[in-house]
């Protein structure tokens, strides 16, 4: 049975699998006691800029993954979501699998960037971070290039907070950086 090759461009265009949940999950609020105090602004050309950046990537034909044909693609196939999320830890694991792993491969195959998705313990931790971030992208020597925090979707409606409670949204951002957001 033939399979279908996927390049970096194909992988970026794929939808991330829907989150699997049960009625049993955390009900705690994991927002930190930090607050973003700098300027928030509308990023009015977000979609245009995202498309422009996508088109500027030097895509190539390197095959990074395969999709099995219809006979090999069952509900049990590893390309389908199998992890059921009940708290932030499983959401972080899911992000690492579905975004970190895939995007590290895509970026390293298409761009001259030697970066990896990792966890905080793999990073050069001489940084001034006061909390351990959920998501870390490191350079070749372990230098932290990017950090992120994961929230459980059922406890944190971040998009709603952005428009209805800017003060609460600032708590999600935490540190002081100028951030430009897509217009609604």
Higher pLDDT, 24 or 141: 141
Residue 32 has pLDDT above 60, yes or no: no
Task: Give the pLDDT confidence score for residue 9 in this predicted structure.
Answer: 96
Q: Which of 66-75, 97-106, 134-143 has the highest mean pLDDT?
A: 97-106
User: What local confidence, expressed as pLDDT, does residue 104 receive?
Assistant: 95
Q: Is the pLDDT at 109 greater than 70, yes or no?
A: yes
Contact 180, 44 (CB under 8 A): no
pLDDT reported for residue 38: 67
Find all residues with CB under 8 Å of 54, minimum gap 6, and list them. Answer: 12
Task: Mean pLDDT check: name the lowest of 53-57, 76-80, 113-117, 146-150.
Answer: 146-150
User: Is the pLDDT higher at 48 or at 158?
Assistant: 48
Nearest to 151 by CA among 174, 128, 121, 167: 174
- Cα 64 to Cα 144: distance, rounded to the nearest angstrom: 25
From residue 81, give the alpha-carbon distance in Å to each of 19, 52, 59, 94: 8, 30, 27, 9
pTM higher than 0.85 for the full model? no
**Taking 80 as the threshold, does the pLDDT of residue 154 lie above it?**
no
CA proximity to 99, closest of 137, 66, 133, 62: 137
The kind and range of the H/E element at 136 are strand 135-138
pLDDT at position 169: 67
The model's confidence at residue 58, banded by pLDDT at 50, 70 and 90, is very high
């Amino acid at each position: 049975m033939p399979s279908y090759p996927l390049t970096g461009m194909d992988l970026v265009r794929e939808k991330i699998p829907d989150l699997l949940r049960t009625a049993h999950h955390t009900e705690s609020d994991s927002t930190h006691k930090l607050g973003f105090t700098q300027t928030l602004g509308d990023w009015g050309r977000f979609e245009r800029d995202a498309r422009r950046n996508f088109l500027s990537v030097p895509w190539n034909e390197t095959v990074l993954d395969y999709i099995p044909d219809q006979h090999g693609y069952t509900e049990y196939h590893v390309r389908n979501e199998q992890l059921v999320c009940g708290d932030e830890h499983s959401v972080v694991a899911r992000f690492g699998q579905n975004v970190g792993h895939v995007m590290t491969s895509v970026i390293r195959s298409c761009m001259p960037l030697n970066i990896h998705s990792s966890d905080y313990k793999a990073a050069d931790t001489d940084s001034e971070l006061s909390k351990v971030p959920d998501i870390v992208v490191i350079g070749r020597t372990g230098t932290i290039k990017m950090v992120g925090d994961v929230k459980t979707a059922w406890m944190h409606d971040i998009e709603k907070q952005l428009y209805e409670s800017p003060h609460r949204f600032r708590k999600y951002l935490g540190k002081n950086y100028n951030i430009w957001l897509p217009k609604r």
